């Protein structure tokens, strides 16, 4: 229990603000509705920025770290693309915004991604020597890259849907 209190007390406030934001986004995604591509880009951008910061802080000038992270992103993007294959997407011709069905996968994915990234960052903060451990480094970069990639893949699916001609039906895109 003392370890948990220590972790919580040493976590910067921006991390808790980010968690609250992600939970809000996940809950909002459970309702179908119109949205813009710029709003949908926020989550992949946040996790990408967090990943870039982490690589620069933990593995400075390591091409191997970047390569592992990019491999993780590529694999995750494929998963993200597949997750939305049955989601109903279309461009609303009257507003030009993207209409999407309810996405029940977002909240659990956001929470899992946050926990994994927070866990790795906490471990590295408590024991910086872990950055030199090959197995830890590989797991850290592939997993965090993979989760980031899931959100990038989902965004790419939204991007493709937004480029499709307006449809009167709510058929799945792709």
Q: What is the reported pTM?
A: 0.86
State how far the Cα of 106 lies from the Cα of 99, in Å rounded to an integer.
16
Instruction: Name, in order, each residue with C-beta under 8 angstroms of 156's C-beta and a sequence gap of 6 or more.
Output: 77, 80, 81
Q: Where are the beta strands (DSSP E) in the chain?
A: 33-35, 89-91, 98-100
pLDDT, position 95: 78
Given this model, what pLDDT does residue 98 score? 86
Sites in the chain below the pLDDT cut of 50: 167-171, 173-174
pLDDT in tens, 9-43: 778 899 899 999 999 999 999 999 888 889 999 99
Nearest Cα neighbor of 101 from 154, 152, 150, 146 is 154
- How far is 128 from 140, CA to CA, in rounded Å? 13
Closest CA to 106 of 36, 174, 173, 44: 44
How confident is the model at residue 19, as a pLDDT?
Answer: 94
Report the pLDDT value the prediction gives residue 96, as an integer from 0 to 100: 75
């Amino acid at each position: 229990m003392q370890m948990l209190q220590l972790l919580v007390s040493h976590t910067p406030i921006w991390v808790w603000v980010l968690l609250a934001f992600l939970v809000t986004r996940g809950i909002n995604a459970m309702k179908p509705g119109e949205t813009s591509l710029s709003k949908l880009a926020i989550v992949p951008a946040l996790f990408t920025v967090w990943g870039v910061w982490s690589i620069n802080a933990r593995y400075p000038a390591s091409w191997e770290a970047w390569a592992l992270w990019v491999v993780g992103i590529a694999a995750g993007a494929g998963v993200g693309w597949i997750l939305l294959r049955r989601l109903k997407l279309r461009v609303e011709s009257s507003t030009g915004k993207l209409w999407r069905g309810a996405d029940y996968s977002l909240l659990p994915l956001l929470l899992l991604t946050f926990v994994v990234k927070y866990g790795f960052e906490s471990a590295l903060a408590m024991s910086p020597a872990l950055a030199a451990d090959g197995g830890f480094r590989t797991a850290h970069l592939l997993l965090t890259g993979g989760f980031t990639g899931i959100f990038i893949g989902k965004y790419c699916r939204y991007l493709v849907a937004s480029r499709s001609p307006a449809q009167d039906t709510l058929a799945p895109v792709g």
